[in-house]
């Protein structure tokens, strides 16, 4: 357990860390501690001599939503204090005053204020980088730096800060495996701006989101998936609240990118696209791999499958000869595949193709250019395999390759050719 967080207490009472994580955590807590009375299965200690805040509640979370009961208790009791939730390396704090949520803090990158501003489309990524530099240079909070640079207005920033508190709250209560600690009191200076949000209302919304998002995930696995408009829906209008969302769905933008363009976070835009899917206005496609090596790897899966099926049918030599002639005649593949194969199984060497792309692609989007070239290459391989196989084997192979390459089947990429009316059960 090199990276474990286990401890061992020997017969002399000496504590020994049994992994790197445990050792790091203990070193961070060097000093004197006071051991509190606890059941035999627990060890609880607080720093000796410190005027530490009273610990009102502590425990483990082992199922999604289990923390909702703790928050409900805080709300019903009109308690104040700081609820700290440790989810592996993620740490979130929710600040309460008389049962209301007045602020939050987080170390989760996607929940930081700058990311919230960017994900809502309030600022661009370039503006965010400029804000971060200005904040680091001036020592100001990120929100103050954004105001100084006039990238956001005061009322917009206040709204975004409230949304950040909500997102941190939802992230905390949705964790499935964590530890939590409720302390009495907190330092007011830790609040960037005091909010006043009903914990009860937030709990109800969190529960609704948890149930609905689980349902949405059956059709939209993550916000990286791509909503693709359906030609069959042309001429039909979606409900008014979905018009703007549909207008941003072009088959290239992910769910997250659509959300940024219309100023919605993951849950809201996922719900809207789910409704568009149910209405037949869009379908969702798996996200495309990014980077030349990853794109080649994705196409390799299809190419290897085509070669495997032809080899099993005793047609591998004919397939390789035909694909080789196509590549030689097309011109671009000689340079694109230089030093990159294909290998005997049909696969290309991704890292070498990636280096070749740098010298070849003059497009603004080299990934799209490479995907187009590989789609045409794999499409011909599939077409030629179809001329060598029985129609039943061809249909099965077409279905497999279509599933493998589904992330690349957008409007701007032509589908692979089919055998069409070229007769025969195989040659």
Burial class (CB in 10 A: 0-12, 13-18, 19+), 408: buried
How far is CA 36 from its chain centroid?
41
What share of residues in the chain are helix, strand, coil (percent, to 5)? 50, 15, 35
* Look-up of token digits 């700081």: 82
* Look-up of token digits 């097309």: 330
Tell whether 58 and 44 lie within a shared domain: no
pTM across the whole model: 0.62
Quick one: tokens of 186? 């907190």
At 333, is the secondary structure helix, strand, or coil?
helix
Asked if 418 contacts 386 with a C-beta cutoff of 8 angstroms, the reply is yes
Tell me, yes or no, whether 102 lies in a domain.
Answer: yes
Number of domains in the chain: 4
The last residue of one of the domains, among 246, 267, 285, is 285
Quick one: tokens of 9? 């207490």
* Look-up of token digits 């980088």: 129
Tell whether 173 and 254 lie within a shared domain: no
Q: Give average pLDDT by consecutive 10-residue segment, the chain, 427 residues.
A: 75 89 88 87 82 84 88 92 92 94 92 90 90 93 92 91 93 92 90 89 90 87 88 86 92 88 87 93 82 87 92 92 88 86 89 84 72 88 92 88 73 41 40
pLDDT the model gives residue 25: 86
DSSP 214-278: HHHTTT--STTSEEEE-GGGTT----GGGHHHHHT--SSS-HHHHHHHHT--HHHHHHHHHHHHH
Tell whether 263 and 301 lie within a shared domain: no
pLDDT the model gives residue 364: 62
Quick one: tokens of 181? 């600690």
Tell me, yes or no, whether 418 lies in a domain.
Answer: no
Tell whether 393 and 278 lie within a shared domain: no
User: How large is the C-alpha radius of gyration of the chain?
Assistant: 28
pLDDT the model gives residue 426: 41
The last residue of one of the domains, among 269, 285, 301, is 285
Domain region containing 327: 292-408
Tell me, yes or no, whether 95 lies in a domain.
Answer: yes
Tell me, yes or no, whether 143 lies in a domain.
Answer: yes
Tell whether 241 and 375 lie within a shared domain: no
CA dist 102 and 79 (Å) reads 12
Tell whether 203 and 59 lie within a shared domain: yes
Tell me, yes or no, whether 339 lies in a domain.
Answer: yes
pLDDT the model gives residue 363: 56
pLDDT the model gives residue 103: 94
Asked if 181 contacts 44 with a C-beta cutoff of 8 angstroms, the reply is no
Tell me, yes or no, whether 258 lies in a domain.
Answer: yes
Tell whether 315 and 380 lie within a shared domain: yes
Tell whether 63 and 174 lie within a shared domain: yes
Tell whether 59 and 166 lie within a shared domain: yes
Any idea what DSSP says for residue 45?
E
Tell me, yes or no, whether 120 lies in a domain.
Answer: yes
DSSP 103-156: EEEE--GGGSHHHHHHHTTSS-HHHHHHHHHHHHHH---HHHHHHHTTSS-HHH
CA dist 97 and 1 (Å) reads 42
Tell me, yes or no, whether 207 lies in a domain.
Answer: yes
Strand pairing partners for 378?
A: none
Asked if 197 contacts 205 with a C-beta cutoff of 8 angstroms, the reply is no
Tell whether 65 and 183 lie within a shared domain: yes
Tell whether 29 and 132 lie within a shared domain: no
Tell whether 271 and 180 lie within a shared domain: no
CA dist 81 and 58 (Å) reads 13
Burial class (CB in 10 A: 0-12, 13-18, 19+), 330: middle
CA dist 401 and 302 (Å) reads 5
**How is the beta sheet containing 178-183 ordered, strand by strand?**
55-61, 178-183, 81-87, 90-97, 100-106, 197-198
DSSP 304-324: HHHHHHHHHTT-HHHHHHHHH
Asked if 121 contacts 260 with a C-beta cutoff of 8 angstroms, the reply is yes
How many Cβ atoms sit within 10 Å of the Cβ of residue 98? Answer: 12
The last residue of one of the domains, among 261, 285, 309, is 285
């Amino acid at each position: 357990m090199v990276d474990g967080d286990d401890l061992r207490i020997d017969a002399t009472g000496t504590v020994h860390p049994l992994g790197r994580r445990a050792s790091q955590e203990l070193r961070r807590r060097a000093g004197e501690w006071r051991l509190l009375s606890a059941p035999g299965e627990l060890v609880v200690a607080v720093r000796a001599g410190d005027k530490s805040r009273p610990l009102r509640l502590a425990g483990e979370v082992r199922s999604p939503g289990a923390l909702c009961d703790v928050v409900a208790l805080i709300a019903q009791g009109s308690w104040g204090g700081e609820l700290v939730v440790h989810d592996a390396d993620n740490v979130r704090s929710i600040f309460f005053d008389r049962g209301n949520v007045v602020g939050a803090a987080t170390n989760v990158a996607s929940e930081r204020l700058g990311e919230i501003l960017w994900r809502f489309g309030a600022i661009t990524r370039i503006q965010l980088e400029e804000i971060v530099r200005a904040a680091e240079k001036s020592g100001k909070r990120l929100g103050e730096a954004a105001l100084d640079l006039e990238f956001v207005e005061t009322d917009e920033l206040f709204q975004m800060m409230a949304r950040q508190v909500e997102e941190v709250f939802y992230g905390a209560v949705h964790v499935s495996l964590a530890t939590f600690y409720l302390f009495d009191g907190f330092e007011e200076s830790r609040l960037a701006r005091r909010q006043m949000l009903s914990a009860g209302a937030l709990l109800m919304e969190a529960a609704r989101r948890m149930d609905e998002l689980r349902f949405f995930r059956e059709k939209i696995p993550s916000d990286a998936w791509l909503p693709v408009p359906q030609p069959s829906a042309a001429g039909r209008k979606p409900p008014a609240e979905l018009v703007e969302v549909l207008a941003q769905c072009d088959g290239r933008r992910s769910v997250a990118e659509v959300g940024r363009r219309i100023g919605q976070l993951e849950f809201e835009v996922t719900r809207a696209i789910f409704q568009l899917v149910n209405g037949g206005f869009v379908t969702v496609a798996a996200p495309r791999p990014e980077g030349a090596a990853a794109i080649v790897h994705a196409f390799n899966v299809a190419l290897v499958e085509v070669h495997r099926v032809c080899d099993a049918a005793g047609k591998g030599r004919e397939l390789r000869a035909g694909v080789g002639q196509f590549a030689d005649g097309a011109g671009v593949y000689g340079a694109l595949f230089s030093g990159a194969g294909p290998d005997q199984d049909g696969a290309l060497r991704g890292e070498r193709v990636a280096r070749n792309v740098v010298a070849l692609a003059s497009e603004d989007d080299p990934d799209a250019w490479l995907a187009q070239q590989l789609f045409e290459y794999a499409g011909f391989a599939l077409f030629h395999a179809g001329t060598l196989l029985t129609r039943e084997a061809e249909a099965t192979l077409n279905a497999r390759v279509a599933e493998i390459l589904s992330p690349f089947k957008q409007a701007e990429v032509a589908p692979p050719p089919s055998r069409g009316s070229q007769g025969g059960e195989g040659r």
